Structure 1
């Protein structure tokens, strides 16, 4: 027989017992019982592609295109990395400018990279 989620209740409840959250403990039990009755609804484990690469590199394992498929076969969901925000993109450009030769001002460098201010030239 496979383990049931309800078996986690004492462990989870003990964490909440420190603050005396009896209602939370009851809610935890209800949620775990529901997951036992609906195992197809248990959230899967997700990981981004860059996180897979990072974990593998840390262990000295080369990342290859087959890794996401292998992770999926093992039960994980590999999702693409989220698109960077405009702030993150700008931050990366500024970091690249700082690391490069300082023959241009930051504004010249950003202009060369095609950065436009909101409402700026099209």
Structure 2
């Protein structure tokens, strides 16, 4: 009986295993990058909330009156934001930090990265442009 030619079988088996393996590895890297971005946005929102509390909380707020003039960007310079969350500026991204103009209780500080995109197409657009909020009671 004659043996079948086995040349190239290992290369074909590697191709069958390599595609799902590398897809899984890149998906893990992509989710890790997303998690780091969310944590950096949380740090930025918390730093903005601290700036709002330092600059806007006066004696009138302690007496349960609504703070005034606490809207816009609590960390207006890019250098201040980059000192808090340097990872958010990789790849030319620029995060935004905002306190809405309508003062309500609690004040909400929102940090977002509108230009962030996931690298793997399997996620679709659901994880693009992450945003995090921090609430400040008064």
Q: Which has the higher contact order (CA 8 A, sep 6+)?
A: 2
Larger strand proportion, structure 1 or 2?
2
Q: How high is the TM-score relative to the length of structure 2?
A: 0.21
More helix by proportion, 1 or 2?
Answer: 1
